[in-house]
Amino acid sequence: MQSSNLERAHVRVSGQVQGVFFRDSARQKAEELGLAGWVKNMPDGQVEALFEGPSERVREMVRWCEEGPQHASVENVDTDFERSSGDLEGFEVR
């Protein structure tokens, strides 16, 4: 992948987002979109994630986070877009 059209999004999702398969659903969606990165539960009840890949796909993933999986109740998505280093490989649930 060329780094010119790559983007990275660091996302923190709050609401009822733990115990609702948010992480596994996010992994499935990220893999479907061909994105690299990770997703994990935070001690404060939020879900944190990092998505890296083609800009339009990263932004589609961020939009997905605003809804989440079926049983999630997303209240807020805080997103920081960054330059991609292109060094991430694969997608993991942490």
Residues 6+ apart with CB under 8 A from 31: 91
Whole-angstrom CA distances from 65 to 4, 45, 56, 75 are: 24, 15, 14, 10
Catalytic residue (one of 41, 59, 76, 83): 41
Is 23 noted as a catalytic residue in this protein?
yes
Side chain identity, residue 29: K
Is 41 noted as a catalytic residue in this protein?
yes
Q: Are 81 and 62 in contact (CB under 8 A)?
A: no
Reported residue count of the chain is: 94
Catalytic residue (one of 23, 27, 57, 76): 23
| Active site residues per annotation | 23, 41
